[in-house]
Amino acid sequence: MMEFAATSQTGVAHKVNQDGYRLQRDEDGSYIAIVADGMGGHVAGEVASALAVEAIWQALITEREQDPDERLLRAVQAANAVIFQRAQEDPACAGMGTTIVVVIADESNLHIAHVGDSRAYLCRQGELQALTSDHSYVNELVRRGQLAPEKAHAHPQRNLLLRSLGTLPEVQVEYTRFEWSEGDLLLLCSDGLTNPLTDAQIATIVSVKQELSLRVHHLVQAAVAAGGRDDITAALLANGEASQRRDGE
């Protein structure tokens, strides 16, 4: 038994929401969660993220017999081809791209593929643990020890990605697997959530024992209150019945 909720809000800096998401139980009993954060002029970012979510969803539900890692890599690569081709054919979409984070979850495992800086986190007993590492210039500086992690939030080039989906004919996809168990929470989100909020702030909101739909709304509200102007997307999947539990149980 799992519960889930997701929401997305257009940032005040944008006319349309360039984030896309889908979170749904698949026929085979697993859960599929996808968050994409599109980029490109005018409506192109919205097109890229919508194409990515749809192409990945369709690829995953039509290719269930492969191992999860292969299934995810093929789905993300298929989405890359769809977006890249559209960008070649439609001048309004030239140069568009998107981040992607996609998870296939069952009660024991999280299979995660990502490109760019949309993130997956595990929340266990009130502690937030990053499951993905951003493919961004700033994160590369942090990894090399050239930038303190606490300064990454405010770096002027924090939006510069080293990888994105749909901008080149081929894409390098990162796959990881984590074990999780009952009581754990999975959070997928765009940088509209993680730029204005600290991990500690996110962990506090995500851990409040209330319905998941309220938790994702409170995440968005907190990001806006902290000055977030970007599109904000948050998707939560609970291993077990999160909203039924009360403190002390």
| Stretch of 68-76, 125-133, 192-200, 204-212 contacting Ca ion, by CB under 5 A | 192-200
Residue 37 engages Ca ion in binding (rule: CB under 5 A)? yes
Output 68 or 192, the one with its CB closest to Ca ion: 192
Using CB under 5 A as the binding criterion, the count of chain residues that bind Ca ion stands at 5
The backbone torsions φ and ψ at residue 217, rounded to the nearest 5 degrees and listed phi first, read -65, -40
* Nearest residue (CB) to Ca ion, 119 versus 215: 119
- Residue type at position 237: L
Q: Please report how close the Cβ of residue 231 comes to Ca ion at its closest, in angstroms.
A: 6
Closest approach, Cβ 232 to Ca ion, in A, equals 8
Residue whose CB is less far from Ca ion, 30 or 190: 190
Residue 17 is classified by DSSP as -
- By CB under 5 A, what part of segment 65-84 binds Ca ion? none
Task: Indicate the angle between helix axes 199-207 and 212-225, nearest 10 degrees.
Answer: 150
Distance separating alpha carbons of residues 176 and 89, to the nearest angstrom: 33
| Least separation in angstroms between CB 180 and Ca ion | 26
- Binding characters for Ca ion, 200-239, by CB under 5 A (x = yes): ------------------------------x---------
* Residues 6 or more apart in contact with residue 204 via CB below 8 angstroms: 126
Residue 19 Cβ, how far from Ca ion at the closest point, in Å?
7
Residue 40 or 192: the one with the smaller Cβ distance to Ca ion is: 192
In 3D space, the residue among 67, 33, 74 whose CA is nearest the CA of residue 239 turns out to be 33
Cβ–Cβ contacts within 10 Å for residue 200, how many?
10
Closest CA to 75 of 54, 99, 49: 54
The tokens for 196 are: 């204005």
Q: Determine which residue in the list 46, 134, 184, 191 makes contact with Ca ion, applying CB under 5 A.
A: 191
**CA-based nearest residue to 153, from 197, 206, 188, 117:** 197
Q: Which of 134, 230 has the CB closer to Ca ion?
A: 230
Q: How far is the CB of 192 from Ca ion (least distance, A)?
A: 5
Of 134 and 191, nearer to Ca ion (C-beta) is: 191
Length of the chain: 249
Give residues in contact with Ca ion (CB under 5 A).
37, 190-192, 230
